[in-house]
């Protein structure tokens, strides 16, 4: 699944309306008719935390992985992925799975 697909499903789970910037890297989000703002919880800690809170997710950063080892949805930290990046991606992936279940 692409990052764009992850973000679209995560936004759906959180009730966020998205429109994409021409660069296709940044989405603009609006919730409850509020103003449009850049939204990318894969890159922004604040967006990721607000997404986790809106979905009542519990985030446990005590291990260097997210998900079960050797399973499809596991995310493992390595030298290319720091803890903050791993945590943001785990939040978005869980939110995307919730959004996928809403279709």
Residue 103 lies in a domain: no
Which structural domain, as residue segments, surrounds residue 42?
3-98
77 is a domain residue: yes
Domain count within the chain = 1
Burial of 94 (0-12, 13-18, 19+ CB in 10 A): buried
Q: What is the pLDDT of residues 44-100, one digit of tens each?
A: 999 999 999 999 998 876 655 544 444 454 555 555 567 888 889 889 999 999 999
Where are the alpha helices (H) located in the chain, listed in sequence order?
Answer: 3-14, 45-54, 83-101
Note whether residue 45 is domain-resident: yes
Is the pTM here over 0.85, yes or no? Answer: no
């Amino acid at each position: 699944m692409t990052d764009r697909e992850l973000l679209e499903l995560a936004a759906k789970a959180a009730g966020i309306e998205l429109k994409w910037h021409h660069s296709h890297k940044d989405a603009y989000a609006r919730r409850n008719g509020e103003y449009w703002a850049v939204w990318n919880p894969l890159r922004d800690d604040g967006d990721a935390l607000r997404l986790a809170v809106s979905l009542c997710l519990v985030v446990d950063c005590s291990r260097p992985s997210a998900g079960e080892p050797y399973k499809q949805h596991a995310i493992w930290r390595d030298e290319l992925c720091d803890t903050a990046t791993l945590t943001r991606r785990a939040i978005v992936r869980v939110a995307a799975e919730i959004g996928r279940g809403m279709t």
